[in-house]
Amino acid sequence: MSAVLAGLVAGYGIAMPVGAVGALLVALTARTSWRVGAGAALGVATADGVYACIATLGGAALAPAIRPVAGLLRWGAVAVLLVLAVHGATSAVRRYRERDLARREAETPTGPARAYLGFLGITLLNPMTVVYFAALVLAGGGGAVSDRAAKTLFVLAAFAASASWQLLLAGSGALLGRVLTGPQGRLWTSLVSSAVIIALAVRLLVG
């Protein structure tokens, strides 16, 4: 039970701060559908689960091994987010000019599987996620995750917590998509989400 509680706390702790990926998840679901958003949400949760697993197995050697490449990974994450933000904004403007925003399913080829893989890759580019889980494991002295069964429960609980929160974000995006059905509403939603993603990418870079 202590391992499950530790995993839940860790999973919600890394998932609940809504950053660039969370904003992108909400915007994607608003433009497409709940199924696509759910696929993206599970991609994020899978990455969190992978890093939680690595952290429980890596121990004290994990964080020092990642720090030398953390800068490169951070630049990669910033580049991906900026490209996605610019692409989202330009696509929204183009579709608005063509008055084609009402056809949500037709305007994007993104499916649940593609969204899953895309968000899995984006989240894996964030080195601070694995450092976060490693710090939690080390801070606990290994008490809550000292054996194989406890480590498994910790990872599964962290995944479940992250998945539940990301699916909640996807649900809010689906609701937003139903409310903003007009061309102007969808245009401004895309532009605002792109601006938020750019701002958070810059924050990630300078931080």
At residue 63, the pLDDT reads 56
**CA–CA gap between residue 12 and residue 86 (Å, rounded):** 29
pLDDT in tens, 85-100: 787 778 777 767 776 5
Residue 167 near residue 17, CB atoms below 8 Å? no
Interval 179-206 mean pLDDT = 68
Phi-psi region of 17 (alpha: psi -120 to 50; beta: other; left: phi over 0): beta
CB-hemisphere CA count at 13 Å for 79?
8
pLDDT in tens, 182-194: 666 667 766 776 7
Q: Letter for the amino acid at 5? A: L
Residue with the bigger pLDDT between 19 and 15: it is 15
Residue 66 near residue 131, CB atoms below 8 Å? yes
Interval 133-145 mean pLDDT = 52
pLDDT at residue 109 tops 60: no
At residue 141, the pLDDT reads 41
- Domain spans, the chain: 2-206
Residue with the bigger pLDDT between 142 and 167: it is 167
Ordered DSSP codes for 180-193: --SHHHHHHHHHHH
